[in-house]
Amino acid sequence: MALRQLLASDYVTGLVTNNMDTIDQMGRSLMGTVSSTMSTISSITMNMYEKDNQYHYEFEIPGISKENIQLQQTDGFIKVSGERKYRNEIQKENYHTIESSYGKFERKFRLPIQADPKTVDAKFKNGMLLLTVNKVIETEENMNTIEIN
């Protein structure tokens, strides 16, 4: 009878509840860390705007060197891809830490019909990849007359 009273006591109930809350918080923290890290590694953001007969594309790719970024153009599409290889190791007298982040990323998009794919210009500076593509300007020289039969 004394064991039943002990198990039903507020003390034991409090211990079990506190431990379950701690386990739940640890699980939520771990899943949040994993999912946010994966989304950061696998995708990159892009802004696009038109100005002065050009299309401008801006990609935020922090922590990546220019050598780890590839640009490919096929059939009116541009693909920006690469690999993040980051490792920061600090070793001091009282502690040692290593932070690292590895993973591939890719972003593919279609150029507008008015874009001239032969004029793609790319610059990379301070974690920003900037692409500029000229618009095709319609003139009488590049227009074809079609005969009706």
Full-model pTM: 0.59
Query: Regarding beta strands 96-110 and 77-91, do their DSSP bridges make them parallel or antiparallel, or are they unpaired?
Result: antiparallel
Q: Is residue 147 part of a domain?
A: no
Position 132 scores a pLDDT of 96
138 residue type, one letter = E
Position 41 scores a pLDDT of 46
How far apart CA 78 and CA 133 sit, in angstroms, is 11
Position 137 scores a pLDDT of 80
Q: Is residue 145 part of a domain?
A: no
**Do 52 and 25 reside in the same domain of the chain?**
no
Q: Is residue 140 part of a domain?
A: no
Instruction: Return the CATH number at 129.
Output: 2.60.40.790
Position 53 scores a pLDDT of 92
**Do 7 and 32 reside in the same domain of the chain?**
yes
Q: Is residue 100 part of a domain?
A: yes
The full 3-state SS of 45-85, as one line of letters, equals: EEEEEEECCEEEEEEECCCCCHHHEEEEEECCEEEEEEEEE
Give the total number of structural domains in the chain: 2
Position 3 scores a pLDDT of 54
| DSSP secondary structure string for all residues of 74-117 | ETTEEEEEEEEEEEEEEE-SS-EEEEEEEEEEEEEEEPPTTB-G
**Do 60 and 125 reside in the same domain of the chain?**
yes
**Do 33 and 48 reside in the same domain of the chain?**
no
Position 80 scores a pLDDT of 94
- The parts of the chain modelled with pLDDT lower than 70 are 1-42, 142
Q: Is residue 141 part of a domain?
A: no
Q: Is residue 97 part of a domain?
A: yes
**Do 63 and 117 reside in the same domain of the chain?**
yes
**Do 129 and 57 reside in the same domain of the chain?**
yes
Domain region containing 32: 2-37
Position 21 scores a pLDDT of 53
Task: Identify the bridge partners of residue 12 per DSSP, sorted by sequence position.
Answer: none
Q: Residue 126: phi, psi to the nearest 5?
A: 50, 45
